[in-house]
Structure 1
Amino acid sequence: MNSLMQQLNPYPFARLRALMRDINPPEDLQQVMLHIGEPKHATPQVIQDALVNHLDGLAKYPASKGITELRQACSDWLQRRYDLNVDPETQILPVNGSREALFAFVQVVLDAQGADKPVVISPNPFYQIYEGATMLAGGEVVYVNCNAPDFMPAWQDINAATWQRTQLVFVCSPGNPSGAVMQLDDWAALFALQDQYGFVIASDECYSEIYFGDDAPLGSLQAASLLNRSWDNLVMFTSLSKRSNVPGLRSGFVAGDAKLMAAFLEYRTYHGSAMGLPIQHASIAAWQDEEHVRLNQALYQQKFDLFVGALQAAYEVSIPDASFYVWLKVPNGDDVAFAQRLWQTQAVQVLPGRLLARDTPQGNPGQGYVRIALVATVAECELAAERLLTFAQRGF
């Protein structure tokens, strides 16, 4: 057995199950599950049709690089969305969802052959794949806290000696769980550190198409281009799961530095990570269609307006820049007790923020918050808002 497996931490949802194991919600209340960020909106028909119409592709081995038409569809989307010219031949790779790609990318980038463990810097709170991938690649995770009011990483907390060992930095914008979006000045600050220390940046942008207002979130490659930088040592990760409500399709792509793409393709060829042809054709249909994305955004906007508007009577809460999460500050400061009591009395399940973060010398930035995923129906979100208000009125 790989001894590095022993370093892995339980997933947040496993820890949540343990916290809720002996708690029974009222039997007369409908349970509302808002703890997992799994999209629940209907999968667009255009994607379903494309999948069904290409089932003959199941009889063929797919290439790890994907078909030209899919890479071109991804390139076209990047042009429309970010005004970028991305070479579909050398700067784009289809992947089986951003999750597997984020994990695999760390195995490619990290070099653990030296005397010191290589460092990977992760935002805190964070998506647990960043941590697990680093540990299994023989690296050391250093957490950078993302605190209120802007929830941007506090890069100043990382000392020079750590930066000098850093090989990879993860960023997540729009952020999970806060929904905060990195602005151009934020990217400029990170790029300045990259110039000084030479690390790779992996930008997780899977929530980029769920946003509120007229301004779409800035992307990493877009920010680099606006700052007249090359894409050396910069890779973005995106997915159809949230954008197109197809978490079961397992489809996304990575784009950026052509040298890293070449190495990543070689790794993926050995790893057996090729995307099936029916999935590729369904993905083409998804990336080419924007109507369903606008409808998806409108539905989330409706839920956030309703939910946040109701909660403002009793909680300190606002609509985030993007994503489908409400990062709710807990009035009594104890996120675990809040979540347990909410489940016990109101049958609404949310995720304690500390389960998404790690303790650091600067504290645990998730403590005192709960993450609420507004992925359920409008009616269920409205019901959850009513229950949270009742919870507040009864003194938690």
Structure 2
Amino acid sequence: MIFPERFSNLPAYAFPRLRALLDPHPAGGPVANMTIGEPKHPFPDWVPEVLAANVEGFASYPPNDGSPELLDAISGWVGRRYGVDFDAQSRAMALNGTREGLYNVAMALLPEEKRGKRPVVLIPNPFYQVYMIAAISVGAEPVFVNATRQTGFLPDYGSLPAEILDRTVAAYICTPGNPQGAVADAGYWKDLLALAEKHDFRVFSDECYSEIYRGDTAPMGVLTAAEAAGADPERVTLFQSLSKRSNLPGLRAGFIAGGAESIRRVRQLRAYSGAPMPLPLQRVAERAWSDEDHVIANRALYAEKYAVADEIMAGVPGYAGPDGGFFLWLPVEDGEAAALKLWTEAGVRVLPGAYFGQPVDGENPGKHYIRVAMVAPKDEMAAALMRLRGCLYE
């Protein structure tokens, strides 16, 4: 074969699948696209100024790990946000978006076998698709663990058989979750880190939505939880991004953080096979991690959207607004049928929940849901949600 068998039977990615489902049919109303999680709130007004002031940086190869100034800014933000003493000069690396890191961490850190057997990577189900492809790429067995209403929309990794856990080399977790918006609390973190210690596996924590949440209490992150548990810093890895926090998805700016040895190995892999962020973009990221005012203003806009969604969807059986992030995970009889009906009758475009999941014991946990992105301006979002409710629930 021209390409490896391990990639030969991957399902189509979510968005091509959606186009195949919907595009043969005309929209049944004014088009409202609520599919992609691309923030539409304004990014900070100082971004063009910082970019212009550093444009000469495009003439030089950028530093592989992130500039010293950017790493200092990350150190400061991690300390303020997670309440830990953190030196990003040795324990972090700037990323071209977190997907790069979520993939390469498996390539850099995971062994080819454990106890003489094929290793396992645990993945919440539904999930962000890069977790699966990272596991497959290193020859590991991806084990999908359903995150349903019964489990608080977080995976119960402790329920797995000892045979699986003893082969596990890493567990991915996303909090607040995509697509469900569930947040891991202190108890969940304590149990997960104890499980990782008992069975000797790593925890990869995707916290890209961590700065969008309800109320005044920020979600606990893996670095805070690890310090509270006295965990080895090498056991946990954090992934962060400016895409949602600062409304800068096109900047492709994030970072990976963890133990010094883990980050050394990820940096080494990047030196051989990756591409560092252009220096002008690093300067923008440096400023963004150092400024919290725009993040607070952004979170206030999402708080208004949470309230609007709760009001419009009130009384819908099974509705629960997210604890964090900007997706609604709405219960329906069948996600594909609901998405097609919504498109052909109302012009509203959403994603079937099954496109984010894999069947476990013959059942895809996303089958009976649709994912709805609350990224459009509030009034546009409200109008689309009204049409959605009228089409699907009345």
TM range (shorter): over 0.9
CA distance in 1, matches of 2:344, 2:83: 49
Q: How far apart are 1:65 and its partner, in Å?
A: 1.3
Q: Give CA deviations for 1:153-205 in whole Å, capped at 9, x if unaligned.
A: 12244211111211111011111111111111111111111111111111000
Structure-1 residue corresponding to 2:33: 33
Contact 2:193 2:229 (8 Å CA) reproduced: no
Q: Which runs of 5+ in 1 are unaligned?
A: none
Q: How far apart are 1:343 and its partner, in Å?
A: 0.8
Contact 1:123 1:145 (8 Å CA) reproduced: yes
CA distance in 2, matches of 1:255, 1:302: 32
Q: How far apart are 1:113 and its partner, in Å?
A: 5.8
CA distance in 2, matches of 1:265, 1:390: 51
Contact 2:338 2:392 (8 Å CA) reproduced: no
Q: Give CA deviations for 1:274-297 in whole Å, capped at 9, x if unaligned.
A: 111001100011111111111111
Letter in 2 for 1:135: I
Q: How far apart are 1:110 and its partner, in Å?
A: 2.3
Structure-2 residue corresponding to 1:80: 80
CA distance in 1, matches of 2:179, 2:73: 29
Structure-1 residue corresponding to 2:335: 335
CA distance in 2, matches of 1:360, 1:157: 14
**Root mean square deviation of aligned Cα:** 1.6
Structure-2 residue corresponding to 1:377: 377
Structure-1 residue corresponding to 2:274: 272
Structure-2 residue corresponding to 1:69: 69
CA distance in 2, matches of 1:245, 1:295: 11
| Local SS of the residue matching 2:372 | strand
CA distance in 2, matches of 1:218, 1:327: 22
Letter in 2 for 1:293: V
Structure-2 residue corresponding to 1:213: 215
Match of 2:164 among 162, 165, 187: 162
- The number of equivalent residue pairs is 390
| Local SS of the residue matching 1:90 | helix
CA distance in 1, matches of 2:158, 2:236: 21
Q: How far apart are 1:392 and its partner, in Å?
A: 4.2
CA distance in 2, matches of 1:239, 1:221: 15
State the TM-score, normalizing by the size of structure 1.
Answer: 0.95
Contact 1:109 1:168 (8 Å CA) reproduced: no
Letter in 2 for 1:128: Q
CA distance in 2, matches of 1:246, 1:57: 19
CA distance in 2, matches of 1:147, 1:113: 30
Structure-1 residue corresponding to 2:53: 53
Contact 1:95 1:254 (8 Å CA) reproduced: yes
Q: How far apart are 1:217 and its partner, in Å?
A: 0.6
CA distance in 2, matches of 1:176, 1:368: 16
Structure-1 residue corresponding to 2:145: 144
Contact 1:47 1:283 (8 Å CA) reproduced: no
Structure-2 residue corresponding to 1:126: 127
Q: How far apart are 1:315 and its partner, in Å?
A: 4.6
Q: Sequence identity, in percent?
A: 38
CA distance in 1, matches of 2:139, 2:8: 12
User: Residues 89, 314 of structure 1: CA spacing in aligned structure 2 closer, same or farther, 3 A cutoff?
Assistant: closer
Query: Are 1:346 and 2:350 counterparts?
Result: no
User: Residues 300, 92 of structure 1: CA spacing in aligned structure 2 closer, same or farther, 3 A cutoff?
Assistant: same
Contact 2:309 2:321 (8 Å CA) reproduced: no
Contact 1:46 1:285 (8 Å CA) reproduced: no
Q: Which runs of 5+ in 2 are unaligned?
A: none
Q: Give CA deviations for 1:359-384 in whole Å, capped at 9, x if unaligned.
A: 00273211211111001111211111
Contact 1:311 1:388 (8 Å CA) reproduced: no
1:188-267 matched pairs, under 5 angstroms: 188-267=190-269
Structure-2 residue corresponding to 1:288: 290
| Local SS of the residue matching 1:35 | coil
State the TM-score, normalizing by the size of structure 2.
Answer: 0.95
Q: Give CA deviations for 1:99-138 in whole Å, capped at 9, x if unaligned.
A: 1111111111222267633211100000000011211222
Contact 2:158 2:192 (8 Å CA) reproduced: no
Contact 1:241 1:248 (8 Å CA) reproduced: yes
Structure-1 residue corresponding to 2:303: 301
Letter in 2 for 1:140: E
User: Residues 54, 377 of structure 1: CA spacing in aligned structure 2 closer, same or farther, 3 A cutoff?
Assistant: same
Structure-1 residue corresponding to 2:318: 316
Runs of 4+ in 1 over 3 A off after TM superposition: 113-116, 313-316
Q: How far apart are 1:21 and its partner, in Å?
A: 3.0
Q: How far apart are 1:222 and its partner, in Å?
A: 0.5
Letter in 1 for 2:279: L
1:352-371 matched pairs, under 5 angstroms: 352-361=352-361, 363-371=363-371
Letter in 2 for 1:182: A
Q: How far apart are 1:302 and its partner, in Å?
A: 1.3
Q: Give CA deviations for 1:334-357 in whole Å, capped at 9, x if unaligned.
A: 111111101110100111111110
User: Residues 377, 77 of structure 1: CA spacing in aligned structure 2 closer, same or farther, 3 A cutoff?
Assistant: same
Q: How far apart are 1:306 and its partner, in Å?
A: 1.1
Letter in 1 for 2:374: L
